[in-house]
């Protein structure tokens, strides 16, 4: 606060209260720092409010509905199934999102983190201005952590409005679309395409590249493509979205495939072609914080920018735009400010796509390992050979382990299958601890569980498979 011309002095300032910012603030407070957290909209940021968490809630609800109307189990069926999309949205907002964000607010208060509502930007190397609807205040600070996240990209011809939506808009829909066009078949587009297809919406994905989910192994993606086919999701690859003509009731999308112009009419369009870092309106040019050609903040291995006492984490620095990466970097930055000898280590950074089946990846792929000079062995085990997966009627998919042929060290892994999002942590831990495929094979896994697929894949790598 400002009394007259006197500026309040702050110790550690965190700008942005997403999964990177609020974690950094709490860790800094735990280490004895006096912390002030600046957030312009909602505590929890995009992830908790309009991203990771609400989308997973809708994914879960959509699976339950689809299983009711088309039971995967013989002998189990429901004669009458109703769907109230507004009630699902109410549950998502109040029983899931609100509970988590309220919990974060409690943790911040418990750790004595001061929260300021507003938009922060740098006036000089040691002063920051916080603007809000009633004006603004200027503060001096000793250290700062920038965690402002990213924003969905708006593409030419598809200006966001009531019918052309970004991920935030599609998650807040009050009505269930009859027809939906999804532009971009990456993580977000594929996950949300699955949600609405499960709920009965006619979905078309327009992907500019030759395949959806290009960051995953084609073999694993094929399982998702088969699932989409069963849900009658149309996938147009090498498709260039040209324009959207919006009326009060629908949208006419024009796109081009191999030189041929096509049109498709729908209720809504989801544009999910990527996100841009929120670095433009921070005043970074005033203080000498350098950006790269993509607008990302340059940092060292302690997340320190070109200004010694200013740090940056999450989507605004190079690397994957993942919530758990931001949280990890937030802890590193807070500990670096505390004077600890810490540094980021991206030896194994898991990534997950909550499609059906789930996809997960960590460490090095076969190609990446070979490029680094390893003699590579790839071993696979299908979920069809797993008793628990069969009993769940979810036997599609496989576990793929990448290891060093000479030492057996686990270098990476990819999974397509049920609970892949949870299973990938075991492979991540193996990589972080330099474990070998023999270590994985000798670890007793409970039976019957889907975690046995990792043990079985390791045994395949040793040339001693039991169930294949």
Nearest C-alpha neighbor of 413 from the set 354, 359, 340: 359
463: region left, alpha or beta (phi > 0 left; psi from -120 to 50 alpha): left
Annotated binding-site ranges for NAD(+): 184-191, 207, 274
C-alpha distance from residue 23 to each of 17, 48, 60, 312, 384 (Å): 8, 13, 26, 13, 40
Over residues 1-19, mean pLDDT: 79
Class of domain 164-273: alpha beta
Three-state DSSP class for residue 411: strand
Spatial distance between the Cα atoms of 450 and 455, rounded to a whole number of angstroms? 10
**What fold, for 8-151+276-337?**
FAD/NAD(P)-binding domain (3.50.50)
Over residues 191-206, mean pLDDT: 98
164-273 and 351-462: same fold? no
Chain segment 306-363, per-residue pLDDT in tens: 999 999 999 999 999 999 999 999 999 999 999 999 999 999 999 999 999 999 999 9
How high does pLDDT run on average in the chain? 96
What is the pLDDT confidence band of residue 133, given thresholds at 50, 70 and 90? confident
State yes or no: pLDDT of 5 exceeds 60: no
Beta bridge partners of 312: 146
Annotated binding-site ranges for FAD: 56, 120, 148-150, 315
Over residues 66-78, mean pLDDT: 93
**pLDDT at residue number 134:** 85
What is the set of active-site residues? 447
**pLDDT at residue number 81:** 95
Please report the beta strands in 192-233, taking only residues with DSSP state E, as ranges in sequence order.
Answer: 202-206
List the domain boundaries for the chain: 8-151+276-337, 164-273, 351-462
Q: Give the other-Cβ count within 10 Å of 288's Cβ.
A: 13
Segment holding 183, helix H or strand E: strand 179-183
Chain segment 377-426, per-residue pLDDT in tens: 999 999 999 999 999 999 999 999 999 999 999 999 999 999 999 999 99
**What fold, for 351-462?**
Enolase-like; domain 1 (3.30.390)
Over residues 95-112, mean pLDDT: 98
State yes or no: pLDDT of 199 exceeds 70: yes
Establish how many alpha carbons lie within 13 A of residue 314's alpha carbon, considering only the half-sphere containing its beta carbon: 32
Three-state DSSP class for residue 121: strand
**pLDDT at residue number 3:** 39
**pLDDT at residue number 1:** 40
Nearest C-alpha neighbor of 336 from the set 313, 305, 303, 314: 303
Q: Which DSSP string corresponds to 227-294?
A: HHHHTT-EEE-SEEEEEEEE-SS-EEEEEEETTEEEEEEESEEEE-S-EEES-TTS-HHHHT--B-TT
What is the pLDDT confidence band of residue 2, given thresholds at 50, 70 and 90? very low
Annotated binding-site ranges: 56, 120, 148-150, 184-191, 207, 274, 315
- Beta carbons within 8 Å of 280's beta carbon, 6+ residues apart: 295
What is the pLDDT confidence band of residue 6, given thresholds at 50, 70 and 90? low
């Amino acid at each position: 606060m400002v009394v007259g011309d006197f500026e309040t002095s702050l110790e550690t300032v965190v700008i942005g209260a997403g999964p990177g910012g609020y974690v950094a603030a709490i860790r800094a407070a735990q280490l004895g720092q006096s912390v002030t957290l600046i957030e312009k909209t909602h505590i929890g940021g995009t992830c908790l409010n309009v991203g990771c968490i609400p989308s997973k809630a809708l994914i879960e609800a959509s699976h339950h509905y689809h299983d009711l109307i088309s039971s995967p189990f013989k002998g189990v069926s429901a004669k009458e199934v109703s769907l109230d999309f507004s009630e699902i949205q109410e549950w998502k907002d109040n029983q899931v999102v609100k509970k988590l964000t309220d919990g974060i607010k409690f943790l911040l208060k418990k750790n004595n983190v001061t929260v300021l509502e507003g938009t922060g930007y740098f006036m000089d190397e040691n002063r920051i201005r916080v603007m809000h609807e009633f004006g603004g205040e200027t503060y001096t600070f000793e250290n700062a952590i920038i965690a402002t996240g990213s924003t969905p990209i708006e593409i030419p011809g598809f200006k966001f409005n009531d019918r052309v939506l970004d991920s935030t808009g599609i998650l807040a829909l009050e009505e269930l679309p009859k027809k939906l066009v999804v532009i971009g078949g990456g993580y977000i587009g594929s996950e949300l395409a699955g949600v609405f297809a499960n709920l009965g919406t006619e979905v078309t994905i327009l992907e500019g590249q030759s395949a959806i989910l290009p960051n995953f192994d084609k073999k694993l993606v094929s399982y998702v493509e088969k699932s989409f086919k069963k849900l009658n999701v149309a996938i147009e690859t090498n498709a260039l979205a040209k324009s959207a003509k919006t009326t009060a009731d629908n949208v006419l999308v024009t796109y081009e495939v191999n030189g041929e112009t096509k049109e498709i009419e729908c209720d809504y369009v989801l544009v999910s072609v990527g996100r841009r870092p929120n670095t433009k309106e921070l005043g970074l040019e005033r203080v000498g914080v350098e950006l790269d050609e993509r607008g990302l903040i340059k940092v060292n291995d302690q997340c320190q920018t070109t200004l010694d006492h200013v740090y940056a984490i999450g989507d605004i620095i190079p690397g994957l735009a993942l919530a758990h990466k931001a949280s990890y970097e937030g802890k590193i930055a807070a500990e670096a400010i505390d004077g600890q000898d810490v540094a980021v280590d991206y030896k194994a950074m898991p990534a997950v796509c909550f499609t059906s089946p789930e996809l997960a990846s960590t460490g090095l792929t076969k190609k990446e390992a070979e490029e680094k000079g390893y003699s590579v062995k790839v071993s696979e085990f299908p979920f069809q050979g797993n008793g628990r997966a069969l009993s769940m009627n979810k036997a599609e998919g496989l576990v793929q382990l990448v290891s060093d042929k000479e030492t057996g060290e686990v270098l990476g892994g990819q999974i397509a299958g049920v609970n892949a999002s949870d299973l990938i942590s075991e492979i991540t831990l193996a990589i972080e601890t330099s474990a070998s495929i023999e270590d994985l094979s000798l670890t007793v896994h409970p039976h019957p569980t889907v975690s046995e697929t990792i043990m079985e894949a390791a045994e395949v790598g040793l040339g001693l498979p039991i169930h294949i």
